[in-house]
Amino acid sequence: MTDRPYRPSNGTEGAIFEERWCQRCAREDVDKDDLCDIHGNALFGDPPTEWVYKDGKPTCTAFTVDARCEPRCDETMEMF
């Protein structure tokens, strides 16, 4: 079964997704304004097939950890 595609429903939701995935992904160089193809397509072209719901959460299946800014752990409980 294929995963259900994810589309941000508004700009704020899109910005939250970008902060969680794109800005922490090795495929993208924020310092050089270098968007990856998937992110670029999401903004200007075809909806990317890599953006899907996994376990009910928006996910990018092409995400590659950028050692400089690893993502926040979704499984760890929150203090506040």
Site string (8-37) toward other proteins, x via CB under 8 A:
--------x--x-----------x-x----
With contact defined as beta carbons under 8 Å apart, do 58 and 67 qualify? no
Tell how far CA 18 is from the center of its chain: 5
With contact defined as beta carbons under 8 Å apart, do 62 and 38 qualify? yes
- How many other C-beta atoms are found inside a 10 Å radius of the C-beta of residue 48? 21
How many residues sit close enough to other proteins to count as binding (CB under 8 A)?
Answer: 19
Cβ-based nearer residue to other proteins, 46 or 75: 75
Structure token pair of residue 18 = 């970008």
- Strand runs labelled E in 6-63: 51-54, 57-60
Q: Shortest approach of other proteins to residue 43 CB, angstroms?
A: 19
Cβ-based nearer residue to other proteins, 9 or 45: 9
List binders of other proteins among 37-76 (CB under 8 A): 63-65, 69-76
Q: Does 4 bind other proteins (CB under 8 A)?
A: no
